[in-house]
Structure 1
Amino acid sequence: MSAALSVRFTGPLERLSSRARRDIIDRARADEDVRVTAVVSGILTRVKREGDAALIALARELDGAALAKLEVPRAAIEAAKTNLDPDVRRALERTNENLATVHAAMMPKLVEVESEPGIVVGRRPDPLAAVGIYAPGGRAAYPSSVLMGVVPARVAGVPEIAVCSPPGKNGLPSDVVLAAAAIAGASRVFAIGGAQAIAALAFGTETVPRVDRIVGPGNAYVAEAKRQIAGSVGIDAPAGPSEILVIADETADPEHIARELAAQAEHDPEASCVALVLGDALAARVVEALGRVVVDRGEVVAASLGSRGAVLSIQSLDDAWPFAADYAAEHLMLLVREPRAALARVRHAGTVFLGDGSSVAFGDYMTGANHVLPTAGAGRSFSGLSTLDFVRFTTYQTVTREAAARMARDVSVLAEAEGLKNHAAAAAAFGASR
């Protein structure tokens, strides 16, 4: 593109009205839409009651696919891997290796602590028994998201990893999704999409196993389904349209900033792309560069920037950090002279990219970090997907008889204070039995 792109919010950050600031920061997707909520509730109920029959009927109604089987045969999965374009396969295998390396290093370890002599408390990470990975389909296939979900589950030691992805007209998910599932090490793959896939994984059917946690991105119906079943099965962080916040000083290249904004804007007209840059001149150069750097999906990029985009100038980097904390970006990029020093100021972000070589695109595909991240401000309380999402912790404790004798009196005092006399009696008895 060479025509200028309209960015909704421009000018100095300090002059932004409270209403405009709220519009930028409050970007939660309307997953609570009454119609979406009702449709998803109906699908969940139908799948819970009718099982496989509901899944087959919904595939016909919603995907236009006549399914002979819900589960994809292992031969078809392996054939997709064998027939995959060699360059794509090599790139996916490289991503698989990097993800495994990073996530294995971050795997939680068993910890034992002696709080007092003779009192040992331990915490052991145990893999979940079964997990479900949702892989979007339909208008686009995202094999990288398959790896992002399956690999940390595999590294955590989960024995059953089920992937669900919408069927095409041939009754199967896309070949590249199937190939990615094979490369990542998924146990089983099912040709099921949308809210019905979440229902099948949450409740189990005759064919689909019930799982302990469901992760992966999806549309508004998938997100709403995960929200509705969250009380009965674990889910990952709430996720909506992609977003980025770039914080840049005078050392930053305006074209680099513009390319990062455009890269996230091409995901979705509802993507949120914001830059806080030092000085009015750099801000103007970023806006001008946006008209030159877009190479594809220009209408989507223009819609995103026109409705949710912002390029705002700041007088000092100190002005950026309060805004960044409120915004809690999915992707935060620090294009500043000393990015590691700036990192110390960051508390709320899905993932942070440091310096002018660290394009978000690298993290999206190949660094080994995970690209399944909290959006819409959820980074204030959620983290990105990791092995922590695929384990639960067993806490255990041992108390020697000598330690029991030392604790008995104080424990009895506390139990009596709470009116729990049987607790007090138990502590006294164990403390006396040497």
Structure 2
Amino acid sequence: MEIQTLTADISLKRQLETGNEMQLQTVRAVIEDVKQQGDEAVKAYTEKWDGFRLEKLRVTQEEIDAAVQAMDEVILQDLREAAANIRRYHEQQSRYGFKLPLEDGSYLAQRILPLTSVGLYVPGGSAAYPSSVLMNVIPAQVAGVERVVIATPCDATGKLPDAVLAAASILDITEIYKMGGAQAIAALAYGTETIQPVDKITGPGNIFVALAKREVFGDVAIDMIAGPSEIAILADETAYADEVAADLLSQAEHDALACAILITTSEQLAQAVATQVEKQLQTLPRESIARQSVERFGRIYIASSMAEAVEAINQLAPEHLEIVTKNAEAVSEQIRHAGAIFLGRYSSEPVGDYFAGTNHVLPTNSTARFASGLNVDDFIKKTSVVYYTEKTWQQNAPKIARLARLEGLEGHARAVESRGWEKE
């Protein structure tokens, strides 16, 4: 990895693929076809791009049961324990409404209600991501969402990964559809003969999924358009070079566009980590992907002080931040912008990806400056309630009317003033 002196223009922002005009037109055509032809369009695109002609889109209970039976019991128990950890953490995020009493029995209130239905997109095909199932479904369930649907692409034999179906089974999710890509997003957003539309779509995907989510936004809600993974590590001389290198590569192996950055106050550590990264790359199964990431977007920066390093982290606003320093907790108090923070030697980023309980769906590309990771609030909506008695109305109607006329809205003023006497 390239070693540099920390400068003021440090950035995580990359020229990320946002889709070309041909891709956008393809996505728009797919969405329109699904709107017009429903199930048949989804099946046709699945055959075209995933190589299998489906008879039915929905996964059967028999398929779910068979997947659970095929799983190693130890792994199943790991998934159950991870699910319990995630649920326990997200239950702390539960929100409740309030009622604010006014004079004479009047009141203001806020009702917090769960969304009625959400759709979770789980990437698939050649890979399996049961952790995506847990991270997206559980906060929705904690929020009280009545209907949670999973869409995930099948392989060329029409099969879904056992681990994905097992994770869904652990969470009692049975409405699962074999569909991926833009056609899955369109089906979730607008419905088909088989699929009822949802109110919100969450979950990551490729460029076609991302473009489709952008296109349907407004008709349904979406979580975010997440970019490639990022990790920044803030370390001093107390960190171990082999561990830091391994953590950097844990994100570099995700994607050739992934970004892995070390900021350290120790020149000795910087040199040792660079050596370790090269050494560990040579035995990494996903070496080709990780090497491209490291060469294009990997950096090691040497800071003159911890204060300078912290300032750089806040400028980066990384998706994942590991702090491996003396007094890591105290250092973390100075961090304002990060999707998730991992403190100390034993809290490496994959701990959060899979097991600790925090959510791994996080803002990328420096959007942690203003965005949060997926949480229970993403699956609720807030409704305000106003109740004025006649006495409270009498006290405030003239004020309201004056404010309405200040804005030139005579109809508003008259609506307030039309009350207050007995009607025949």
TM-score (norm 1): 0.92
User: Of 17, 32, 42, which residue of structure 2 is paired with 1:45?
Assistant: 32
The corresponding residue for 1:387 is 376
* Matching residue's letter, 1:281: Q
> Measured at CA, do residues 178 and 252 of structure 1 come closer, stay the same or move farther in structure 2, by a change above 3 Å?
same
SS in 2 for 1:158: coil
The corresponding residue for 1:254 is 241
The corresponding residue for 1:186 is 173
Instruction: Please state if 1:131 is matched with 2:118.
Output: yes
CA contact (8 A) 2:126 2:155 kept: no
Q: Partners in 1 of 2:108 and 2:390 — Cα distance?
A: 15
Instruction: Please state if 1:12 is matched with 2:5.
Output: yes
* Matching residue's letter, 1:75: E
The corresponding residue for 1:306 is 295
> Measured at CA, do residues 249 and 385 of structure 1 come closer, stay the same or move farther in structure 2, by a change above 3 Å?
same
User: Of 17, 21, 28, which residue of structure 2 is paired with 1:34?
Assistant: 21
Alignment of 1:116-265 (within 5 A): 119-265=106-252
The corresponding residue for 2:388 is 399
Alignment of 1:266-415 (within 5 A): 266-294=253-281, 295-296=283-284, 297-415=286-404
* Matching residue's letter, 1:70: L
Farther-moved stretch of structure 1 (243-252 vs 203-212): 243-252
SS in 2 for 1:312: strand
CA contact (8 A) 1:98 1:368 kept: yes
SS in 2 for 1:69: coil
Instruction: Please state if 1:427 is matched with 2:420.
Output: no
CA-based RMSD: 1.9
CA contact (8 A) 1:131 1:161 kept: yes
- What is the identity percentage for the equivalent residue pairs of Structure 1 and Structure 2? 37
> Measured at CA, do residues 37 and 422 of structure 1 come closer, stay the same or move farther in structure 2, by a change above 3 Å?
closer
Q: Partners in 1 of 2:74 and 2:261 — Cα distance?
A: 33
Tell me the alpha carbon deviations over residues 196-215 of structure 1, each in whole angstroms, 9 at most, x when there is no partner: 11111011111122000000
SS in 1 for 2:319: strand
CA contact (8 A) 2:134 2:167 kept: yes
> Measured at CA, do residues 36 and 345 of structure 1 come closer, stay the same or move farther in structure 2, by a change above 3 Å?
farther
> Measured at CA, do residues 431 and 187 of structure 1 come closer, stay the same or move farther in structure 2, by a change above 3 Å?
farther
| Runs of 5+ unmatched residues, structure 1 | 1-6
* Matching residue's letter, 1:312: Y
Note the C-alpha offset of 1:232.
Answer: 1.1
The corresponding residue for 1:418 is 407
User: Of 72, 97, 107, which residue of structure 1 is paired with 2:59?
Assistant: 72
CA contact (8 A) 1:243 1:272 kept: yes
Farther-moved stretch of structure 1 (292-301 vs 112-121): 112-121
| Runs of 5+ unmatched residues, structure 2 | none
* Matching residue's letter, 2:389: T
SS in 2 for 1:211: coil
Between Structure 1 and Structure 2, how many residues are aligned? 420
Q: Partners in 2 of 1:418 and 1:263 — Cα distance?
A: 57
Q: Partners in 2 of 1:279 and 1:112 — Cα distance?
A: 54
Note the C-alpha offset of 1:114.
Answer: 4.2
* Matching residue's letter, 1:246: I
> Measured at CA, do residues 431 and 102 of structure 1 come closer, stay the same or move farther in structure 2, by a change above 3 Å?
farther
CA contact (8 A) 2:12 2:259 kept: no
Tell me the alpha carbon deviations over residues 111-163 of structure 1, each in whole angstroms, 9 at most, x when there is no partner: 23347775532222211111100111122111111111111111111111110
Q: Partners in 1 of 2:42 and 2:417 — Cα distance?
A: 58
The corresponding residue for 2:92 is 105
> Measured at CA, do residues 311 and 79 of structure 1 come closer, stay the same or move farther in structure 2, by a change above 3 Å?
same
Q: Partners in 1 of 2:411 and 2:54 — Cα distance?
A: 60
Q: Partners in 1 of 2:237 and 2:103 — Cα distance?
A: 55
Farther-moved stretch of structure 1 (38-47 vs 85-94): 38-47
CA contact (8 A) 2:237 2:325 kept: yes
Q: Partners in 2 of 1:141 and 1:250 — Cα distance?
A: 38
SS in 2 for 1:25: coil
Tell me the alpha carbon deviations over residues 333-369 of structure 1, each in whole angstroms, 9 at most, x when there is no partner: 1112222222222222211112222111110001111
SS in 2 for 1:349: coil
Q: Partners in 2 of 1:398 and 1:204 — Cα distance?
A: 37
Tell me the alpha carbon deviations over residues 284-342 of structure 1, each in whole angstroms, 9 at most, x when there is no partner: 12112213344422222211101110111101122123332332211111112222222
